[in-house]
Amino acid sequence: MATAKPAAKKATAAKTTRQPSAAFMKPLTPSAHLAAVVGATPLPRTEVVKKLWDYIKKHNLQDAANKRMINADAKLKPIFGKDQVSMFEMTKLVSAHLK
């Protein structure tokens, strides 16, 4: 005869809200090339990426065949340094334009 194991009780810890990292929330000043796209005011890194994606979608710069690739227009080419970058490479290239 098989005996049923008692169900393990989960410890109900007080749920804490996760605080964002201070490094992500620190306002950074964009370079002149990046400021042409996201504005010249200091912004947290997360907001810079968000505004960059808004610009990419507004100007239809995602590659039609592979949505992970971003096609650079005249404003993005000085930031990226080439005609097309992947969305993962984009954040690395943008961080070089933030102080």
* pLDDT for 75: 94
**pLDDT band at residue 19 using 50, 70 and 90 as cut-offs:** confident
Q: Spell out the domain ranges in the chain.
A: 25-95
* pLDDT for 25: 84
Determine contact, residues 80/93, Cβ cutoff 8 Å: yes
Q: Which CATH number fits domain 25-95: 1.10.245.10, 1.10.1040.10, 3.40.50.300, 1.10.3720.10?
A: 1.10.245.10
Mean pLDDT value of segment 39-59: 94
Enter the pTM of the model: 0.75
Q: Rounded CA gap, 26 and 43, in Å?
A: 8
